[in-house]
């Protein structure tokens, strides 16, 4: 069977290096695999789970689409579209929510992290977020989901929802069971200020992350100031013990250079961090610079971006509509035709 890849990113704040290394860079590779169809979504409905941002959402959606293309996704090969432009996502999300036990959602660690201390104030949307995410993939009969490590639990939930639907309602293998693809050296990029916290676009300190829009000076400054320890650059994985910041910087280098961590340590092990940081800074600027400037160019031609999103939305709708129709038939909904 043909592989159908589905993945997405939220248009909240600026994309950061973790989004690129943990997901986007892998998406670009998958686009050229034989017998593989790729669908990459800007998940704007998910972005609303932490509040509406009407003044900036449309532009953030375009910016994420621009980042996809600037990183190497080709709209002729991959479908690149905004989630809210395919109404079937929300429809299937509702239907799947009705067969998802609360107990399954209560286990989701991301809700606990994002809801913070006062869970009573978190939106119902944040709570049911993983159900919409299941709908995103199942709506296309997606088979593989390339994501960073933090999304693994959500992909497992989507498999459980698919199994439940297939066994108890469809009584056949209607939805394929999507597999997580957690690829490459940097499946969880950590903060530059704290090697035990994930690099995130919503973290308070801008110094904790490299944004896809940062220029060379900002990148160099952030890497120079990145937290390290009093030791030298580790020479093997055993020396990562108790040194999360050192491990993180080696991981970032490895992922950017398409090397293994050990290869990086063969080159830099035993050196001072200052020398390694200079090399990491040059590498990051060399790899991210072209993406940043291409993104800027694309954002300068909003009409062209909108044309790409509109064309892809038609292609996505054409795949999603018949699958939604079949799902509704299975569930016994009345349809006009």
Catalytic residues: 114, 198, 201
Under the binding rule (CB under 6 A), the answer on residue 188 touching ligand TYM is yes
Residues 223, 207: Cα–Cα separation, whole Å:
9
Whose Cβ is closer to ligand TYM: residue 9's or residue 285's? 9
Distance of CA 329 to the CA centre of its chain: 32
Residue nearest ligand TYM, CB atom distance = 22
Under the binding rule (CB under 6 A), the answer on residue 291 touching ligand TYM is no
Quick note: the x/- pattern for ligand TYM over 196-215, rule CB under 6 A, is --xxx---------------
- Using CB under 6 A, pick the residue from 147, 161, 249, 309 that binds ligand TYM: 147
Residues 43, 8: Cα–Cα separation, whole Å:
6
Under the binding rule (CB under 6 A), the answer on residue 180 touching ligand TYM is no
Q: Is the CB of residue 175 less than 8 Å from the CB of residue 138?
A: yes
- Among the residue ranges 101-109, 112-120, 194-202, 311-319, the one whose residues contact ligand TYM (CB under 6 A): 194-202
Quick note: the x/- pattern for ligand TYM over 42-71, rule CB under 6 A, is -x--x-------------------------
Residue carrying structure tokens 């300068």 = 300
Which DSSP state fits 24?
A: I
- Using CB under 6 A, pick the residue from 23, 38, 139, 252 that binds ligand TYM: 23
CB of 272 to ligand TYM, least distance (A): 26
Whose Cβ is closer to ligand TYM: residue 255's or residue 285's? 255
Residues 320, 134: Cα–Cα separation, whole Å:
14
Under the binding rule (CB under 6 A), the answer on residue 248 touching ligand TYM is no
Q: Is the CB of residue 233 less than 8 Å from the CB of residue 276?
A: yes
Long-range contacts of 256-260 (CB under 8 A, 24+ apart): 256/21, 256/283, 256/284, 256/287, 257/283, 259/185, 260/185
Q: Site for ligand TYM (CB under 6 A): how many residues?
A: 26
CB of 282 to ligand TYM, least distance (A): 22
Whose Cβ is closer to ligand TYM: residue 197's or residue 275's? 197
Name the site residues for ligand TYM (rule: CB under 6 A). 6-10, 18-19, 22-23, 43, 46, 133, 136-137, 145, 147-148, 150-151, 154, 187-189, 198-200
């Amino acid at each position: 069977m043909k592989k159908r890849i589905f993945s997405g990113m939220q248009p909240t704040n600026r994309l950061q290096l973790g989004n690129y290394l943990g997901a986007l860079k892998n998406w670009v590779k998958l686009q050229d695999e034989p017998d593989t169809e790729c669908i990459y979504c800007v998940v704007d409905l998910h972005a609303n789970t932490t509040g509406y941002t009407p003044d900036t959402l449309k532009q953030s959606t375009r910016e994420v689409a621009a980042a996809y293309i600037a990183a190497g996704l080709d709209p002729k090969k991959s479908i690149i579209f905004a989630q809210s432009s395919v109404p079937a996502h929300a429809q299937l999300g509702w239907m799947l929510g009705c067969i998802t036990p609360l107990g399954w959602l209560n286990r989701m660690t991301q809700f606990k992290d994002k809801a913070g201390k006062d869970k009573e104030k978190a939106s119902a949307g944040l709570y049911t977020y993983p159900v919409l995410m299941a709908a995103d993939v199942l709506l296309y009969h997606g088979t593989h989901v390339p994501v960073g490590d933090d999304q693994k639990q959500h992909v497992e939930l989507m498999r459980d929802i698919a199994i439940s639907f297939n066994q108890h309602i469809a009584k056949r293998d209607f939805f394929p069971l999507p597999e997580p693809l957690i690829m490459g050296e940097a499946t969880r990029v950590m903060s530059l200020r704290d090697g035990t916290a994930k690099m995130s676009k919503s973290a308070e300190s801008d110094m904790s992350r490299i944004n896809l829009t940062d220029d060379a000076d900002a990148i160099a400054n952030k890497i120079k100031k990145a937290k390290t320890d009093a030791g030298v650059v580790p020479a093997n994985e055993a020396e990562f013990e108790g040194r999360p910041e050192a491990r993180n910087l080696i991981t970032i280098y490895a992922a950017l250079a398409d090397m293994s961590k050990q290869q990086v340590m063969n080159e830099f092990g035993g050196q001072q961090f200052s020398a390694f940081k200079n090399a990491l800074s040059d590498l990051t600027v060399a790899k991210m610079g072209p993406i940043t400037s291409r993104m800027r160019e694309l954002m300068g031609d909003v009409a062209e971006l909108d044309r790409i999103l509109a064309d892809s939305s038609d292609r996505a709708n054409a795949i999603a509509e018949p699958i939604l129709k079949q799902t509704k038939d299975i569930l016994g909904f009345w349809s006009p035709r």
